[in-house]
Chains A and B, each alone.
Chain A
């Protein structure tokens, strides 16, 4: 049963990441991966909130493992960083990594605080 909830969450989370990326690229151009950054930070906020509350294991599987897991991505984030480094844009690569990690951690912490407050 749990794996069905994980599948359901991922079926929505992964295309939402793709559509966010398409939307952001269409609006702000392809220079910086704002789309990936946005989903990674948003997913960290939601997961921080989900795990900060005593939700049922089923809801945690649906929202946490399925939705947030598929909404966020480490593989695309790494590939984009490598692409910056190969183009000789080392400063952008470093900034992308630092901003992603710090904003992600901040968002996860904020999610946990929100979960306590709700």
Chain B
């Protein structure tokens, strides 16, 4: 099996991941919470990251499908490093029962709605732009 690992691709994902993770860390530090609170900072991070990846991947597929490194840096790296699955799962585990259920449902619903909305917004705005041209 030939994995054909491109060092530039790994570097792009790594650099993007650092930027994304530091942004997530800054938001979490500015907006801490206890197990008795709804984890708003992680919720906001995950939902906004899903909205942005919907926009990004839709725009790239339409205008720059050949820009693999842009997709890897911004999508896999920055947004992948910014959003976090593990923190969301552990927060559900640690939260008080009613908050845990609400948080679990609000995260998955918010994330899926956001990725769909981001993608739809990108499609609609680029479609109307090309129609004007």
Contacts and interface: CB of A to CB of B under 8 A. Distances in A.
B85 interface: yes
- Secondary structure call for the B interface: helix
Contact of B115 (A10, A19, A23, A78): A78
B21 A74 contact: no
A7 interface: yes
A75 to B, nearest CB: 4
A15 B81 CA distance: 10
Nearest to A65: B25
A24 to B, nearest CB: 11
Contacts of B81: 10, 13-14, 69-70
Contact of B5 (A7, A19, A61, A72): A19
B78 to A, nearest CB: 9
A74 B14 contact: no
A9 B94 CA distance: 23
A79 B14 contact: no
A72 B84 contact: yes
Contacts of A44: 85-86, 89-90
Interface residues on A, range: 35 or more
B26 to A, nearest CB: 8
A75 B86 contact: no
Interface in B13-72: 13-18, 20-22, 24-26, 28, 46, 49-50, 52-54, 57, 72
A77 interface: yes
Contacts of B54: 78-79, 82
27 contacts: A10-B22, A12-B14, A14-B14, A14-B76, A14-B80, A27-B1, A40-B85, A44-B86, A48-B90, A68-B86, A68-B87, A69-B25, A69-B86, A69-B87, A70-B84, A74-B46, A74-B49, A75-B75, A76-B53, A76-B75, A76-B79, A77-B111, A78-B111, A79-B57, A101-B108, A104-B86, A107-B89
Interface of B: 1-3, 5, 9-10, 13-18, 20-22, 24-26, 28, 46, 49-50, 52-54, 57, 72, 75-77, 79-90, 92-94, 104, 107-108, 111-112, 114-116, 119
